[in-house]
Structure 1
Amino acid sequence: MAASRTLVDALASDIRTGRLAAGVRLPTHRGLAAREGIAVVTATRVYAQLEAMGLVSREQGRGTFVRDIAVPAGHGSDQQVVATDAVDLTFNFPSLPGQADLLRQALREVATSGDLDSLLRYQPHRGRPQDRASIARHLRRRGITTDADRILIVNGAQQGLAITVMAALKAGDVVAVDALTYPGFKVLAHALQLGLEPIPTTTDGPNLDALEKLCATRPVRAIYTMPTLHNPLGWVMPARDRTRLIKIARQYGSLIIEDAAYAFLAEDPPPSLAATAPDITVYVSGLSKSVATGLRVGFVVAPPSAVPSLERAIRVTTWNTPALTTAIACRWLDDGTVDRLEAQKREDAKARQSLARQELAGLPLIGHPSSYFTWLTLPDGARADRLTATLARRHISVTTAEPFTTSTHMPQAIRLALASTDLDRLQSTLRTVRQAAVEDAYT
């Protein structure tokens, strides 16, 4: 143990002082053991400790590499304040001109509605019946026919995922996830000690042969999926694949957790999993992306048998969603504001995605035509953390594949979130990204 601690300290010092440069491939476990005269198991422990410290990254089939420590481990999974002179391509905050005026008007209308006393009281844990009815009408316009009794109002989609996991799963349960998935679910699964099993991906969804094989060999309690506008890859699963995924879930008794946070951006997608299989699907979405991230109103649609346990999870976490924000959200759902904003944001996303393809032409991009993000794959030998650090020095914040990766193979790629700056600044920023990528990764 002392030998491994001494070696960890020495290697950590070499990395922090630059004697071991970012991107350097370290010896194999056997190579390190032979060089230092230690057991292979000790070498493995050394690399594991360095990885836990955020100093190295281990990549299946490629080896162990020195990280660029200018990019903190997990960068992109935590909400951080970006410097005022920096452009944030890490998180999406899609907001359109005039939305502040909409909020002012809504606040005036709520203030004169004569219902203020009720907004000052505790609310039912899953939301007031009239508010759940507003959400039910909104969902029907999306093709999901549901009773208000199956709806629970939550503090954003992230809480919707949290209460679903708390209510339906326990520590050690196996959950099938895409090999690249939403970082917020990864963090949640880690906090609640779930066992994530990565499913390889294809160009338009998870590899369903691999999913079926996993379900046949492991007790998969749940399948977490984003069938419509996947984050970060932007796919929309074809109808035939949705049908097969539901068949697999039914055959092996797995709950489907459908994350639809970005689904509003897809025009005429196939029916949601919740619409086709409402008895085995928990549907989670919200208004953070379609309306405003600060509104923090989300909703869960669950099988009737799951509603009581989900309601208890709300009670032990937040008691209820703030009544004022819910009142504003439901007013906008009923008067058509949300529908109009969603339509406008689809066009806005198309313009931004088109701009990205124009400014990054010739580079390998993956992204849906109406998605607010695009995925840039780097060539063999290139390091995403090095490119991320280069861009940070140019006051541009992007995300590597690290926070999205659930397998031992981390692709060398970056995700560019396109919605948090105006189009003119986005265009000049993308030109800088292209220049840095060509200089750093393609030369």
Structure 2
Amino acid sequence: MPYNSFEHYPMSWKPDREELTYPYYASLAAKLENDIVHGILAENTMLPPQRELADFLDLSLSTVTKAYKICEEKGLIYGKVGRGTFVTNGCVNKTIVTEEREGMIEMGQTLPFYEYNVIVSQIASEILKAPKSHTLFEYSYPLGTPRQQEAAKRWLSLHGMDVPRENIYMASGAQNALALVLMSLFKPGDKIATDAFTYPNFIGLANMLNIQLIGLKGDENGILPYALEQACRNSKINGIYLMPACANPTNIVMGYERRAEVSKIIKKYHLILIEDDTYAFLSDNKQQPISVNIPEQSVYINSMSKALCAGLRVAYICFPERMRKQLENAIYNVNLKTPSLNVEIATEMIFSGIYEEIASRKKEEALKRNEIFCQYFPEIPSGDIKSAFYKWLHLPKGCTGRAFEMMCRERGVNVYGSERFCVSENFGINAVRISISSPPGIEVLNKGLKIVREVYENISQSEEASYIF
């Protein structure tokens, strides 16, 4: 079967047949090793069955078997009887939490303006002075007090989710909420559709739980409906993970029409929607969450980490009644409860209105930083989110995100290449995410952007150079 007949067939790995040289088994093994080491293939990714890959590449089965064997002997992949072949855990580090290095300008990890944490600290101090504050350190109210649940309801209503407080659970941040959802509503071997580039820690969670992610092609409005429909027809897709209000890392905002189209497909194929609205507070053009249209198939997550305080670790999960038991079991078995002090701090900020002050000041600061970014990259469209915490910069032809990341790092600036966010196929896109909220002050931001611009221009002017490594 000619390999191009698999053009729209969902596969976790699609090496280019034209890049292979004789002997093909050795060349294929080298290609597989390169894609694993450089993070193109995530840890625990299930590789295509050998016969399927052989058909795709129009090679013999023995050729593919030899290639897999070479990588297996190197510890890069491993097989599970009756289940398939997977990328070995520990081959590559895709985490977006990195250790600080002295003198390095941080523009990789997204730090949400830590200077406003002093306000959170003051609220915590007042709460601890109150009578019976010691009860906040007990096991009581694992799902939150009625007052805390009411605060959660109020917070979610600000983002278009008007649900009964009984259908809201609390988690220790969005990452924890995603873990609870994956562990309770999905099982190993399930498939979840996502944007081609998405939140790396979600990729890591799925890999740990042996849940396969299917990255889908998109445009300036998000996932393409036909790509989702095609994936559902060709394979058993169990769910879909989206950040429609402000996608990480691309900053794409999914419009009304696209949301409606995607909703219909989710409903048609009975998918579970995981809607992550962590960055929704940044949008000035508020849109109804997709979960509102298909509440019985949706889990909606909204975290306070970026809007209020990263270290607070409080997120809210909205769910339909049919998912209550599974989620509750996950909370009791994994968390037992979200720390009451953290939840009480969040509750006080919501009822007092302080959250509005913090979120507004963060957006104002982010807007200024976006304007500065535009001075260095005037050719880059500003996008729908004018107060974005990060920017998605497409790179000149011939330069990978990983290469650009390394070149910037050599100059003292940390940015994140697109490989960290890539689910499977990059659809010809090489880019970097530049977190403009992270530098401590405008002076450091300017210094970092100046270096990034210089690296960008050096690559653009070196047309014959190849930066693929």
Matches within 5 A, 1:151-190: 151-190=168-207
Judged with a 3 Å threshold, the aligned counterparts in structure 2 of structure 1 residues 367 and 412 are, in CA distance, closer, same or farther, namely farther
The Cα shift of 1:52 comes to 3.2
Counterpart in the other structure of 2:69: none
Supply the AA of the counterpart residue of 1:109. E
Deviation at 1:364, TM superposition (A): 7.2
Aligned to 1:438: 457
> 1:43/1:342 Cα in 2 relative to 1: closer, same or farther (>3 Å)?
same
1:383–1:144: structure 2 CA closer, same or farther, 3 Å change rule? closer
Partner residue of 2:434 out of 416, 422, 425: 416
CA–CA separation in structure 1 for the residues paired with 2:385 and 2:219: 14
In 1, the alpha carbon distance for the partners of 2:155 and 2:139 equals 25
Specify which of 18, 25, 29 is matched with residue 41 of structure 1: 25
Indicate if the aligned counterparts of 2:400 and 2:417 stay in contact, CA closer than 8 A: no
| Structure 1: gaps of 5 or more residues | 1-25, 34-39, 59-71
SS of 2:284's partner is coil
Deviations 1:24-75 (A, max 9, x none): xx99664151xxxxxx2343234323443449989xxxxxxxxxxxxx9856
Give the letter for the 2:33 counterpart. Answer: Q
239-248 or 150-159: which moved more?
239-248
Between the aligned partners of 1:166 and 1:431, the Cα distance in structure 2 is 43
- Give 3-state SS (helix, strand or coil) of 2:295's partner: coil
Give 3-state SS (helix, strand or coil) of 2:348's partner.
helix
State the SS of the aligned residue for 2:125: helix
1:14-93, aligned counterparts within 5 Å?
A: 30-33=20-23, 40-54=24-38, 77-93=95-111
Residue 271 of structure 1 aligns with which residue?
288
Deviation track 1:359-408 (CA, whole Å, cap 9, x = no partner) reads 12235776732211111111212233332222112210000000111123
Query: Retained in 1: the 8 A contact 2:40–2:419?
Result: no
Matches within 5 A, 1:166-315: 166-315=183-332
Deviations 1:258-281 (A, max 9, x none): 011111100132101123322211
CA distance, structure 2, for counterparts of residue 46 and residue 75 of structure 1? 20
| DSSP-derived class of the 1:431 partner | helix
Cα contact 1:173–1:220 (8 A) shared by 2: yes
Cross-structure match for 2:358: 341
Tell which deviates more after alignment, 89-98 or 164-173. 89-98
Change (3 A) 1:183 1:379: same
Q: 1:402 aligns with which of 419, 423, 436?
A: 419
User: For each residue in 1:196-217, what CA deviation from the matched residue of structure 2 results, as whole angstroms up to 9, or x when unmatched?
Assistant: 1111011111111111122223
Please give the secondary structure, in 1, of the residue aligned with 2:434. strand
The letter of the residue matching 1:113 is A
Cα distance in 2, alignment partners of residues 73 and 293 from structure 1 = 29
Is the 1:234–1:368 contact (alpha carbons within 8 Å) kept by the matching residues of 2?
Answer: yes
- AA aligned to 1:41 is Y
- Report how far residue 158 of structure 1 moved: 0.6
In structure 2, the residue matched to 1:5 is none
Q: 1:411 aligns to what SS in structure 2?
A: coil
Matched to 2:25, the amino acid is V
SS at the partner of 1:267? coil
Q: Which amino acid aligns with 2:218?
A: T
Structure 2 SS opposite 1:346 = helix
Q: How many residues align?
A: 398
**Counterpart in the other structure of 2:6:** none
Amino acid aligned to 2:154: R
Q: Aligned AA for 1:135?
A: A
Deviations 1:313-368 (A, max 9, x none): 12221211111111111111111111222222222222211211111223577673
Aligned to 1:389: 406
Amino acid at match of 1:312: N
Structure 2 residue ranges without an equivalent (≥5) = 1-15, 43-89, 463-469
- Contact 2:192–2:213 under 8 Å retained in 1: yes
Distance 1:27 1:206 in 2: 27
Matches within 5 A, 1:318-333: 318-333=335-350
Supply the AA of the counterpart residue of 1:429. G
| Higher mean C-alpha deviation, range 116-125 or range 316-325 | 116-125
Distance 1:415 1:366 in 2: 14
Partners in 2 of 1:383 and 1:121 — Cα distance? 50
> Are the equivalent residues in 2 in contact too, given 1:364–1:377 (CA < 8 A)?
no
Specify the code of the residue in structure 2 equivalent to 1:320.
K
3-state DSSP of counterpart to 1:93: coil
Q: Greater CA deviation, 410-419 or 247-256?
A: 410-419
8 Å CA contact 2:39, 2:419 repeated in 1: no
What is the RMSD computed on CA atoms of the aligned residues? 2.4
* Aligned match for 1:371, one of 388, 397, 406: 388
Q: How many Å separate the matches in 2 of 1:386 and 1:221? A: 35
Among candidates 156, 161, 180, match of residue 144 of structure 1:
161
Structural mapping, 1:3-14, within 5 Å: none
Task: Name 1:95's counterpart in structure 2.
Answer: 113
How far is 1:424 from its partner? 2.1
Give the TM-score taking structure 1 as reference length.
Answer: 0.84
- CA separation in 2, counterparts of 1:385 and 1:113? 51
Looking at structure 2, the residues matched to 45 and 321 of structure 1 have their Cα atoms a distance apart, in angstroms, of: 46
Q: Percent identity?
A: 25
CA–CA separation in structure 2 for the residues paired with 1:84 and 1:139: 39
CA 131–363 in structure 1, closer or farther in 2 if over 3 Å, else same: closer
Determine helix, strand or coil for the equivalent of 1:248: helix
- Residue 123 of structure 2 is matched in structure 1 by 106
Deviations 1:120-155 (A, max 9, x none): 211433333321211101111222111111111111
